[in-house]
């Protein structure tokens, strides 16, 4: 009975503690999750060209373990988001509904 009476005050304090972190999350989300602008397309092309040239020249072998791990995680994130988009698009987790 006493725990139920304390529940509203606990919820209010939890919301008050979470609000600053949520505001920081929203600030980053507005920047990081926005689609690319037309002015950023040359940078994207340059980045893809740099990636292809480093793959051809073998420069990827000179990365530190930390850089290689980060690049692996970024690649995995891209693949996972692709599959999430596929599941959303077909509206089923497994297979296409015919």
pLDDT at 5 exceeding the cut of 60: yes
Give residue limits of the domains in the chain. 1-34, 61-98
Of 9-13, 51-55, 60-64, 91-95, minimum mean pLDDT range? 91-95
pLDDT at 4 exceeding the cut of 90: no
pLDDT for 30-67, tens place per residue?
A: 988 888 899 999 999 999 999 899 889 988 888 899 99
Given phi > 0 = left and psi -120 to 50 = alpha, else beta, which region is 28? alpha
pLDDT recorded at residue 1: 60
- Average pLDDT over the chain, rounded to an integer: 88
Token readout for 3 is: 């725990």
């Amino acid at each position: 009975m006493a725990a139920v009476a304390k529940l509203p005050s606990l919820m209010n304090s939890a919301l008050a503690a979470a609000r600053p972190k949520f505001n920081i999350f929203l600030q980053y989300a507005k920047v990081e999750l926005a689609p690319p602008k037309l002015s950023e397309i040359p940078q994207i092309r340059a980045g893809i060209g740099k990636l292809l040239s480093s793959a051809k020249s073998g420069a990827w072998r000179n990365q530190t373990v930390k850089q290689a791990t980060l690049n692996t995680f970024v690649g995995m994130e891209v693949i996972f988001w692709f599959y999430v988009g596929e599941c959303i698009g077909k509206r089923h987790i497994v297979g296409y509904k015919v």
